[in-house]
Amino acid sequence: MPITDWPEAERPREKLLAHGASSLSDAELLALFIRTGLKGRTALDLARDWISTFGSLRHFLDATPREMIALPGLGPAKLAELHAALELGRRHLETTLERQDVMSSPETTRNFLSARLRGLRHEVFAILFLDNQHRLIAFEELFRGTLDACSVHPRQVVERALHLNAAAVILSHNHPSGVAEPSGADRHITDRLRDALGLIEVRVLDHLVVGEGRPVSFAERGWL
């Protein structure tokens, strides 16, 4: 049965307008993006199939374009729209950080870093550079590769902090394995960067490790 023939209260679009986007399931939200189904399959059926194929909405959204485009009903046009929607969400979070004290909105910071770093198949070390009111100046990905293999150069971090006239930073990196527990190397690098940045009076406010679930905070662990 087409979604248009469902009772109005059960249609995803009507539910969203009546009760807000948070009232919809993952499949219902994705169905709104899909809009139209295939012969014998509604948009909601397709959404459920896509999510089931990858195990969860997040794993679907983290899939490669090649993996996504192999799904029935997901062609190049819808793939481009999906990536545009994801990027809009990331930019919305970044704009929010630019307008307010980052330390007053730790969940927004976590959500932004998760959106940027989680699901990557390689390790990325990135930094939020902040002004003296802890508002975002810039987010930069500075190093790629495993932290044991890729060089995280304190000198380069110091140079960027000086160039941007930053007063504080939040360090971040992802664990492609999905296990966010910091390693000994993570703690060693954090100490080196804290000492180097301290020489130019730039504070390291936190180091967030992104994996599955909630990012791990060095500050909450008492390691800074």
Both 163 and 210 in one domain: the answer is yes
Would you say residue 193 lies in a domain? yes
Which residue range forms the structural domain that includes residue 210? 102-221
Q: How far apart are CA 216 and CA 218, in angstroms?
A: 7
Both 35 and 123 in one domain: the answer is no
Choosing from 74, 92, 124, the residue where a domain stops is: 74
- Mean local confidence (pLDDT), 162-183: 94
Confidence check: pLDDT of 159 > 80: yes
The number of beta carbons lying within 10 Å of the beta carbon of residue 118 is 20
Query: What's the confidence (pLDDT) of residue 162?
Result: 97
Among all chains, which residue has been given the structure tokens 């932004």? 112
Mean residue pLDDT across the chain: 88
DSSP-derived secondary structure letter, 6? S
Q: Alpha carbon 32 to chain centroid distance?
A: 22
Indicate the pLDDT class of residue 168, thresholds 50, 70 and 90: very high
Both 107 and 217 in one domain: the answer is yes
DSSP 41-103: B-HHHHHHHHHHHHSSHHHHHTS-HHHHHTSTT--HHHHHHHHHHHHHHHHHHHHHHHHS-GG
Say how many domains are in the chain.
Answer: 2
Would you say residue 203 lies in a domain? yes
> How do residues 106-130 score in pLDDT, each as one tens digit?
888 998 999 889 888 889 999 999 9
Confidence check: pLDDT of 146 > 50: yes
Would you say residue 92 lies in a domain? no
> How do residues 24-58 score in pLDDT, each as one tens digit?
899 898 888 888 888 888 888 989 999 999 998 88
Both 115 and 217 in one domain: the answer is yes
For residue 188, what is the domain's CATH number? 3.40.140.10
**In this prediction, what percent of the chain has a pLDDT beyond 90?**
43
Both 107 and 201 in one domain: the answer is yes
Choosing from 74, 91, 113, the residue where a domain stops is: 74
